[in-house]
């Protein structure tokens, strides 16, 4: 096997490993966001009256669905990455063969993951997000690549989409507390 083939395989394994683990986390966050949103929604139905109470069933549902959509979008993107590993190997091989800069970035990314270890949790902590962003930038400039830019976009946007879900859960908790206080008084 050539150096390019080894690099392509190693990077693809790294990206699919991160994608699988990220998809599991996205599912967990989506469930937590949904439960917190459901609690807030039900407390809002009980606490709100008048004109606001008539709008809340629709407004609350839209808010909860929008918050759950972010981690579900991350999960969908990451799941599609895991399903297309064979196509990714070919595109990474094309990228590495076509550019010395891309070769260097792939080597740096793979070496960082190797230093951290084979465990996916350690890989997620050890591989710097900027390395994936550099790869995404390089893959985006290549004209004949389709799957690799999408896979790297899924991996690099994953933390932001989960952050949206986590922030929404915290906001739901705060609003639920306000609704509880309104019900108590």
The DSSP letter of residue 152 is H
Tokens of 62: 């839209």
Question: Using 50, 70 and 90 to split pLDDT, how confident is the model at 2?
Answer: low
Minimum mean pLDDT range among 65-79, 98-112, 150-164: 98-112
Q: How do the residues of the chain divide into helix, strand and coil, expressed in percent and rounded to 5?
A: 90, 0, 10
CA dist 110 and 127 (Å) reads 9
Q: What b/e readout covers 90-99, taking b as 16+ CB neighbours within 10 angstroms? A: ebbbbbbeee
Is the pLDDT score of 20 beyond 70? yes
Decide if 182 contacts 40 (C-beta within 8 A).
no
| Rounded percentage of the chain residues whose pLDDT exceeds 90 | 54
Global pTM reads: 0.85
Minimum mean pLDDT range among 21-25, 102-106, 116-120, 148-152: 116-120
Nearest partner of 136 among 185, 77, 48, judged by Cα: 77
CA dist 179 and 78 (Å) reads 36
């Amino acid at each position: 096997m050539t150096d390019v083939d080894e690099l392509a395989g190693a990077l693809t394994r790294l990206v699919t490993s991160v994608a699988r683990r990220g998809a599991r986390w996205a599912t967990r966050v989506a469930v937590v966001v949904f439960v917190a949103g459901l609690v807030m929604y039900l407390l809002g139905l009980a606490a709100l009256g008048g004109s606001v109470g008539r709008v809340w069933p629709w407004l609350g549902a839209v808010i909860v669905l929008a918050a759950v959509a972010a981690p579900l979008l991350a999960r969908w993107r990451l799941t599609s990455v895991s399903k297309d590993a064979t196509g990714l190997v070919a595109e990474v091989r094309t990228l590495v063969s076509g550019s010395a800069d891309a070769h260097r970035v792939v080597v740096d990314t793979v070496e960082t993951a190797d230093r951290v270890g084979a465990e996916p949790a350690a890989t997620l902590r050890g591989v710097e997000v900027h390395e994936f962003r550099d790869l995404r930038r390089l893959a985006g400039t290549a004209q004949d690549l389709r799957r690799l830019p999408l896979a790297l976009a899924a991996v690099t946007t994953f933390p932001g989409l989960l952050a949206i879900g986590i922030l929404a859960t915290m906001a739901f908790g705060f609003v639920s507390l306000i609704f509880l206080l309104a019900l108590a008084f």
